[in-house]
Structure 1
Amino acid sequence: MDQREQRVVIAGAGLAGTRTAVLLREAGFTGTITVAGAERHRPYDRPPLSKDVLLGTAEGAPLDVDFDALGIELLLGRTATGIDATARTLLTDAGPLPYDRLVIATGAEALTLPGSAGLPGVHVLRTLDDAARLRPLLAARGSLIAVGAGWIGAEAATAARAAGAAVTVLEAAPHPLPGALPPRLTEPMRQWYEQAGARLRTGARVAAVRPGEVELAGGEVLGADAVLIGIGSRPATGWLAGSGVALAPDGSVRADDRLRTTLPGVYAVGDCASFPSARYGRRLLVHHWDNAQAGPATVAAHLTGTGDAAYDPVPYFWSEQFGRFVQYAGQHGPDDTLLWRGDPGADGSTGAWTVCWLGPDGTLRAVCAVDRPRDLAQGRRLVARGARLDPARAADPAVPLKNALA
């Protein structure tokens, strides 16, 4: 088929979907491109939601894309409901969209606690509308309980304290950022909350959430003007049931190393898709901005025939917490050796520091830097190269990581 007659439909108008459309045009695709998004807002960036947008210093973070100039059809308020693989049609709540190639980019949705969805004064923070609903509380300096001391909980607590709101963060695990970083690393971060005037309670399992209050497993009841549920997210893939698109056990679309799904002509990218990593020897599901930014290049190249490289990035994310800039690149495993560059001190306030994870052969597998962006930038490149480090030199924060090779 002549490329000018081909129809590419993209389900999802977030960063991954929008960037896929833009890169298709930049790669020379001349056919029809349609982007269908469930939200009624024009595509926007999500990281500012827990920062400037929540604080009211920005109304939104629209992506700088001229859809009309690029000849991209943008359909807003259009929710994907299924796929008719035989007819090559994306089904939506506003009618079918025929395709020759389909890109699934429906992202992720916030997890909630049982019975909490839709309760007055109970919030999640995933969309622009979510931020708009929570913002008046911060403006009024009300009290907030954040359930979950993960990335969203920490960033929302940061914004709330900056606005002068009273904040209590509840975490069921014994330390903040469980599942993301080990206790040895996050224990110094515990003090950041106290220093900022926020209260962090770990080992605090929530039994129930009601309007204006949270009940803990032991029966204690805590009151607040609002409750934010920040316990993570899951791929927004429920609409794919019965479509023929294979899902992984975690609910993500099971894409291959070119981000192709099990349906011919159908790709998946961003928060909704997992992919096999040769670098780490396992399938990765990465719910971070950088993955949504990078993955579309692989999809666009494969769709246009301008490239065929496997998608195997070094995962990267960042978080701004209580005046600190936390960055992480790579993937660490249980057999990796943790190596400190600098000492955070018992109260976590002695300045910038970095942690490296070295594999059994000394290969740098991952790096986490607090206010040391140069360490992160150099470490990320070294992880991509599979470089081996000299532990003694790497542990000296005065030695640039790029000069600590074995």
Structure 2
Amino acid sequence: MDEQTGQQQQTARNGRRVVIAGAGMAGVQTAVALREQGFTGPVTLIGAEPHQPYDRPPLSKAVLLGTAESSAFDIDFDALDVTLRLGLDVTGLRPDARELDTPQGPVPYDVLVLATGAEPLTLPGAEDVPGVHLLRTLDDAARLRPVLERRHRVVVVGAGWIGAEFATAARAAGCEVTVVEAAARPLAGALPAEAAAPMARWYEESGAVLLTGARVAAVEPGRVELADGRVLPADAVVVGIGARPATRWLAGSGIALGPDGSVTADASLRTSLPDVYAVGDCASFPSARYGERLLVHHWDNALQGPRTVAAAVTAGPEGGGADPVYDPVPYFWSEQFGRFVQYAGHHAEADALVRRGDPDGPAWSVCWLRSGALVAVLAVGRPRDLAQGRRLIESGAELDPDRVADPSVPLKSATR
């Protein structure tokens, strides 16, 4: 390719209209990454909520407790020349016409990025009961703030990450808190028993009541009835039982979806349709590192994936060279009951679990190994273990399990 042809192709790529459906972290960072990587064409960011795009983690912390009014991104969209269309739902996709359907009419695109995130699961039969809340949006946090201010009796359904973080905030505000979990332990969907069991004590230490193996039979105004007949008084009920990719609007579009509802993107985050990409909570991707398709509903994935999408978009189908590949070490963190909890990696195929430190103490870690190599690490109050462990996962170095088990030995010094 001569220089003139290359310049012509670059001009053509930069002239394409990019539309990003979703104005959360993944959508916003895609717009930012496109500009950072030199894309100069039109970029439109569509958000279903009327608010300026905002970060979600503070919703269960500072925003909920009233120490911050919002968590809007500190981004000058005008300076980036990004068009915001807020308060606009996307209702369908017509790839033949290269248009998104919205209540305000079609939105044409040359390149489309799906970044619609995830939607919280609701408790069947409780959706319209007064006093039942979710915690996913800025409006959700605003509705819950008076609950904390009035120190209500609160029942939290689900002892996952959101349930634990809300219970933490509610106890800090002086609420009476009962957490109802259908599984036998907290975080049953995220961590094995050996890792999650010590966390059950955190609830009691905070003054919250944790009921495990407890299923909700009915929710009525002022009360929650459990399947075993117990009745819990509740001025408010907060449901945190998980989320699913927000992709139902794509039905009939030709986009390939997985059994979990995720858009099945490839290693460059391209979808099954030409010039359509997917990123963040709505998309799964193949991980060569772990040998399986991953769906990661966490902040870091929504931050990192957009760089791959932007690289693929700016290169274009005729860009030449190797395709960008997205294969991260998944990472997330949580603040709960006075502890800083971090996790990196993917432990599903591990063949050994090694503890570092006393799980009854304030700081400890769990490491998962596969054929001697670290594949995942959970760190409670040990951020150095997390930082060093993440690098060891990336390198694939083989570790000495005995040295890993010694909390006085830095993880980086446990290599064979």
TM bucket (normalised to shorter chain) is over 0.9
Q: State the one-letter code of the partner of 1:154.
A: A
Name 2:337's counterpart in structure 1.
322
Q: Which moved more, 1:183-192 or 1:306-315?
A: 306-315
Is the 8 Å Cα contact of residues 171 and 205 (structure 1) preserved in structure 2? yes
For 1:6-405, what aligned pairs fall within 5 Å after superposition?
Answer: 6-305=16-315, 308-333=323-348, 335-345=350-360, 350-359=361-370, 361-405=371-415
Superposed CA deviations along residues 279-306 of structure 1, whole A, max 9, x for unmatched, are: 1111100000000000000000010018
CA distance in 2 between counterparts of 1:309 and 1:253 reads 18
Query: Deviation digits for residues 196-243 of structure 1, max 9, x if unmatched?
Result: 111001011111222222111112221111000100000000000001
For 1:53 and 1:213, the matched residues in 2 are separated by: 27
Length, aligned pairs only:
401
CA contact (8 A) 1:362 1:388 kept: yes
Question: Distance in 1 between the 2:181 and 2:349 partners?
Answer: 23
- Cα displacement (A) at 1:6: 1.1
CA distance in 2, matches of 1:315, 1:94: 37
Query: Unpaired segments of 5 or more residues in structure 1?
Result: none
CA distances 1:298-347 after superposition (whole Å, capped 9, x unpaired)? 000010018732100000000111000000000002542110010123xx
Question: Residue 267 of structure 1: SS of its match in structure 2?
Answer: strand
Please state whether the residue corresponding to 2:304 is helix, strand or coil. helix
Question: Percent of aligned pairs with the same residue?
Answer: 68
- Does the residue aligned with 1:154 lie in a helix, a strand or coil? helix
1:58 and 1:115 map into 2 onto residues whose CA distance is 33
CA contact under 8 A between 1:298 and 1:308: conserved in structure 2?
A: no
Contact 2:14 2:314 in 1 (8 A): no
Which residue type is aligned with residue 316 of structure 1? Answer: Y
Shift of 1:113: 1.2
Partner of 2:91, secondary structure, is strand
Secondary structure in 2 matching 1:53: helix
Deviations along 1:135-164, one digit per CA (max 9) or x if unpaired, are 101011111100000000000000000001
Moved more, 86-95 or 120-129: 86-95
Partner-residue secondary structure (3-state), 1:380: helix
Task: Say which SS state the counterpart of residue 80 (structure 1) adopts.
Answer: coil
CA–CA distance in 2 between the matches of 1:357 and 1:186? 14
| Displacement after TM superposition at 1:55 (Å) | 0.6
Question: Distance between the aligned counterparts of 1:214 and 1:94, measured in 2?
Answer: 41
SS for the counterpart of 1:69 is coil
TM-score of the superposed pair, with normalisation by structure 2: 0.95
Distance 1:135 1:187 in 2: 30
Q: Is the 8 A contact 2:350 2:368 kept in 1?
A: no
Deviation at 1:254, TM superposition (A): 0.7
Superposition deviation, residue 385 in structure 1: 1.0
Give yes or no for contact 2:268–2:323 (8 Å, CA) kept in 1. Answer: yes
Distance 1:229 1:328, change over 3 A: same
Structure 1 contact 11–104 (Cα < 8 Å) conserved: yes
Q: Is the 8 A contact 1:358 1:366 kept in 2?
A: yes
Q: How far is the alpha carbon of 1:388 from its aligned partner?
A: 1.1
SS of equivalent to 1:70:
coil
- CA RMSD, Structure 1 to Structure 2 (Å): 1.1
C-alpha distance in structure 1 between counterparts of 2:118 and 2:158, whole Å: 17
Task: Determine the C-alpha separation between the residues in 2 that align with 1:83 and 1:383.
Answer: 39
Question: Which moves more between the two structures, 106-115 or 209-218?
Answer: 209-218
TM-score (norm 1): 0.97
> What code does the residue aligned with 2:167 have?
A
Secondary structure of the structure 1 residue equivalent to 2:78: helix
| Deviations 1:350-369 (CA, angstroms, capped at 9, x unpaired) | 2210100011x201010000
Per-residue CA deviation, residues 149-190 of structure 1 (Å, 9 max, x unaligned), is 000000000000000111000000011111111112222111
Q: Distance in 2 between matches of 1:317 and 1:344?
A: 20
CA distance in 2, matches of 1:201, 1:149: 9
Which structure 1 residue ranges, 4+ long, deviate > 6 Å from structure 2?
none
Are 1:252 and 1:274, in contact at CA under 8 Å, matched by a contact in 2?
A: yes
Contact 2:332–2:342 (8 Å) recurs in 1: yes
In 1: Cα distance, 2:257 partner to 2:197 partner: 35
Distance 2:124 2:13 in 1: 48
Distance in structure 1 (CA, Å) of the matches to 2:48 and 2:38? 27
- Counterpart amino acid of residue 239 in structure 2: I
